[in-house]
């Protein structure tokens, strides 16, 4: 299962996210859940502004230090929304968690 965890501040801005695991919906190379999650995540992450920290490996990506800006907020909330949509259709293969801190 893929697990996506988003950290939000008290202003509802996403400050970091971590996505890890494998969907296991179909065999590697044919897994539409994994492909959808990967394509959406890579596209959004590549467009984030202001030197975010990115750590990734096979089946894992962690993005932190996301600076507050209109572009970053729009992109990260699009990622969250897109992953939630996939999770609604494939709940056995993707979970999305949202954590909120009290910090700005």
Q: What is the mean pLDDT of residues 27-50?
A: 95
**Residue 36: CATH number of its domain:** 3.30.70.1490
Look at residue 104 in the predicted model and tell me its pLDDT.
Answer: 59
Q: What is the mean pLDDT of residues 21-37?
A: 95
Residue span of the structural domain in which 28 resides: 2-100
Portion of the chain with pLDDT greater than 70, in percent: 98
Q: What is the mean pLDDT of residues 76-99?
A: 98
R_g of the chain, CA atoms, integer Å: 13
Portion of the chain with pLDDT greater than 90, in percent: 88
Q: What is the mean pLDDT of residues 33-45?
A: 97
Count of domains observed in the chain: 1
| C-alpha distance from residue 15 to each of 1, 33, 38, 42 (Å) | 23, 25, 20, 17
Q: Mean pLDDT of all residues in the chain?
A: 95
Look at residue 92 in the predicted model and tell me its pLDDT.
Answer: 98
């Amino acid at each position: 299962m893929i697990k996506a965890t988003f950290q939000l501040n008290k202003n509802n801005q996403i400050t970091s996210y971590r996505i890890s695991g494998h969907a296991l919906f179909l065999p590697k190379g044919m897994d539409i859940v994994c492909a959808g999650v990967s394509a959406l995540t890579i596209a959004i992450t590549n467009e984030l502004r202001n030197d975010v920290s990115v750590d990734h490996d096979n089946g894992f990506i962690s993005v932190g230090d996301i600076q507050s800006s209109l572009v970053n907020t729009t992109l990260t909330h699009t990622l969250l929304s897109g992953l939630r949509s996939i999770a609604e259709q494939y709940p056995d293969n993707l979970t999305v968690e949202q954590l909120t801190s009290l910090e700005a």
